[in-house]
Structure 1
Amino acid sequence: MIKDILNVANEKMVKTTVVLKKELASLKAGRANPAILDKIEVEYYGTVTPISQLANISVPEPRILAIQPWDKNSIKDIEKAILKSDLGINPNNDGEMIRLIIPELTEETRKDLVKNIKKDGEECKVAIRSIRRDCNDKIKSLKKQGDISEDEIKKGEEEIQRKTDSFIKEVDKLVENKEKEIMAI
């Protein structure tokens, strides 16, 4: 019973950190990273489709993203979607491919990004602690039912605390690494 509760909690904590990893990967940090296009969707023949399903995305130079659509007719739609997004980059369209030149980040922009990263990290930690609380509540409900001994409950609570501490350390490491990446000039 406790093992099942711990396994569910572990799965939820893993999913929470995966969401943070995706969020951090999608931030532009002054370098070309195809993940910054993950959130942008294109209206293509009446269907909303991610850019990655319409084109090949490559990084020919450290600060340039090249988007090569498989269907040349979709190039205008992709360009329009990039302009509408919150990316803040003007696409260069040569009729064959779209190039995105990632601008250097100013000091102020870097600090704002770091502030947002820390906020995202804190939200992730709050979610992990919430999962811990729910898990502890379920373990305590087993005690009320009389199905489990005090020692097993204590071990279960200690195990969920170890998992929580481990995931919070991982979140701190992710945030710290992204902060270093952004602040590096």
Structure 2
Amino acid sequence: MDTKYAVLVVDMLNDFVTGALKCDRGLAIVPKTAELLRGCREKGIPVIFCNDAHIQNIDHELKLWGDHAIAGTPGAEVIPELALCSADYVVPKRRYSGFFHTDLDLLLKELGVNTVIMTGLHTHMCVRHTSADAYQLGYDIVVAKDATDSFTEEDYQYGLKYLKEVYGAEITDVDSLLESL
């Protein structure tokens, strides 16, 4: 079976990079993430943004993290540096996983995808939970280690180790990935 990729960009939103749940380490991955997205778009590989889009005063996750990425607000928008384009897909999510009660699996199946390239924030939370569901649904997982991060180095490394050991994720960097696609 041929490998058919899609890039999943998890929570690269204003509130996660510069806003309510700002992650300084998130700024560091923006250039490599943008490079990966440009390269994949040029090769016809689908880019799918899995974005928190919470309902204020309703969503369970807000009890733990406070208001962030409220649907329809600037905080819930993709950061401008990643240049969301008309060929990209956006899957709003209300929990950590991009698959939980969304149409992400249906979209990937309709696109013929069997391998997801994980990028974004945070390797130990939303990237991890999205990867968990991807694995359970039968997708192979590749993690672009220089296009993912977490609040701390410890959380980042823990997340990568978990993804590799538990889901068999291939951990690579953007340059190597672009060369292999």
Q: Same fold (TM over 0.5)?
A: no
Higher share in strand: 2
TM category, shorter: under 0.3
Higher share in helix: 1
TM-score normalized with structure 1 length = 0.23
**Bigger RCO of structures 1 and 2 (CA < 8 A, at least 6 apart):** 2
**Larger-Rg structure:** 1
